[in-house]
Amino acid sequence: MLSSIIAPLKDLQHGFKPIVDAGNKILQNDALQPLEIAVSVLSSGAYQERGLGVYLLGRLSLNHPAALELLLKHVVNDPSWQVQEMLAKALDDYCRMKGYEKALPEIKQWIKAPHPALNRAVIEGLRIWTSRPYFKEHPEVAVTLISSLVTKLPQKDNIYLTRSVGNALRDIKKKYPDLVKRETGKWKLTDPAIATAYKLVYK
């Protein structure tokens, strides 16, 4: 049964819905062990299978500390951008299940982490931030958290992280232009990385 769920994923060329659907089938089958399956497919040579593992870990992360630890220490180093997209979803799944306000300590920790892929994953996972519970009522918190990465952009020199910061704030600017304008007014635009993020905000 498991092989019939996983095997078709190798033919996947675009999108993530088949991965999510396969993961849900595993989670809904009491005869399967989703954590064991997740760990086993993380070493697969196919990004689709690793993405499945990441999705499962995200869904299990609230009640299984080992699942969250794998996401933060192992998956974050995966070279596949598709797997990194699944990591972003997994972190959002964790925050959603725990409650975004209760997950604030972890969110802050991930944003402060030295690994740019982890920083990017939380920024991307929670987009659009102000459509999420808690941040919808406290958009200023979202703006402050995202903007806290700006001073680190030059040191991390990661264009993907720079784009995530700029795009996430552009999302928020549509509803809260004054909040974003006030925050970006503090940025030192003489730095190329910060200037790039700024341009994205006001693109």
- Domains of the chain, CATH where assigned: 1-98 (1.10.1240.70), 99-203 (1.25.40.290)
Give every residue of the chain whose pLDDT is below 50, as ranges: none
Please answer whether residues 166 and 196 qualify as being in contact, where contact means their C-beta atoms are separated by less than 8 angstroms: yes
Q: Give residue-wise pLDDT tens across range 45-60.
A: 999 999 999 999 999 9
pLDDT at residue 2, as a whole number: 79
pLDDT at residue 12, as a whole number: 75
pLDDT at residue 9, as a whole number: 79
16: tokens are: 């993530």
Q: Any residues with CB less than 8 A from the CB of 9 and at least 6 apart, and which? A: 18, 19, 22, 46, 48, 49, 52
pLDDT at residue 16, as a whole number: 87
pLDDT at residue 179, as a whole number: 97
Q: Give residue-wise pLDDT tens across range 135-163.
A: 999 999 999 999 999 988 888 778 999 99
Angle between helices 65-73 and 34-41 (to 10 degrees): 10
Residue 12: how many CA atoms within 13 Å on its side-chain side? 23
pTM of the full structure: 0.93
Q: Dihedral angle at the C-alpha atoms of 102, 108, 109, 114, nearest 10 degrees?
A: 160
Please answer whether residues 176 and 143 qualify as being in contact, where contact means their C-beta atoms are separated by less than 8 angstroms: yes
Whose tokens are 């040579």? That residue is: 45
Please answer whether residues 25 and 36 qualify as being in contact, where contact means their C-beta atoms are separated by less than 8 angstroms: no
Closest CA to 165 of 182, 149, 144, 154: 149
